[in-house]
Amino acid sequence: MPDLYPCSITIKQGGAPLVGAVVSLRQKQGESIGWNTEGITDSRGVAHIATGIDFKGAPAGEYSVVVSKTEMAPSKFSPHAPEDPAEAEKWYNESIAEKRMMYRLVKAEFSDAKTTPHSITITKGKNTATFDVGEPVQEEIK
């Protein structure tokens, strides 16, 4: 495991904090470290970056900053099964077969290391940055 340095990245969307987005650092050059380096934005839009799941910080280097957030369309089925056993079985079979759309809530350009305009250089010491991912979107993922 390489040395890790504290890193927090604030993500805004349309000028407001983006909550619940995945912020990943993708190494620009050199060999991959072989670990995920990412965090999830909190209520202030801040992602505290970790390497692996448990190791706070990121290795030194140049990274593309990738931001993604998705949601699934709501189910047409109640979250509770009917009490009648026959109805419950029908509810179960139909609900697991339900096809629901997935939506991208951040423009696609920000969720690809090759197209994101955002980058950060991690160095010894504390690393912070703020990025805006444009206006809110709801694009179908096919």
Mean pLDDT, consecutive 10-residue segments, the chain of 142 residues?
A: 94 97 88 79 97 91 96 87 91 87 94 95 95 94 84
Return the structure tokens found at 5: 């340095």
Domains delineated in the chain: 4-68+106-137 (2.60.40.10), 70-104 (no CATH)
H-type helices in the chain, by residue range?
85-97
Give me the pLDDT at residue 44, please: 98
| Plot region of 18 (φ>0 → left; ψ -120 to 50 → alpha; else → beta) | beta
What pairs with residue 58 in β-bridges? 5
Counts of helices then strands in the chain (DSSP H, E)? 1, 15
